[in-house]
Amino acid sequence: MDLTLAPDILEQLIEYAKNAYPHEACGLLVGRNAADRFIPITNISAHAREYEMDPGELIAALRSLRDMGEELLAIFHSHPHGPAEPSKTDIERAYYPEAAHLILSLAEPERPLALAFRIVDGEVLPIELHAIV
């Protein structure tokens, strides 16, 4: 399985992550076959190097998916200083195994790197990420 981003979605993620710097940014990627909509969610974590989605915003966003006929395709978050790989905390908090995880590294701010994974039962599986331009 892979993750496909509709045009401009990757650019939205990069801009959102840069605006959240030095904190992690987070949100949802939703759509039908490709992620054609990004829903930013407020990071309420007190720690700059982790994220915790605002529960109220998350529940409202997930409810809206049903109304719109969309699916949760991926959980997005950034690593402002680290690699585009799941941390131990990311793996422990992978609560939606049906969704991909897209991590955007800003370790080199002029060359952001995005990678996608499936995290199922603590196992991290890299998947293909396709950004349509």
Residues marked active site are found at 24
Structure tokens at 19: 């605006």
Element (H, E) at 109: none
Distances (CA, A) of 101 to 55, 110, 111: 18, 22, 20
Q: Residues with Cβ < 8 Å from 130, sequence gap 6 or more?
A: 2, 3, 4, 5
What is the bridge-based pairing of β-strands 129-131 and 3-5?
A: parallel
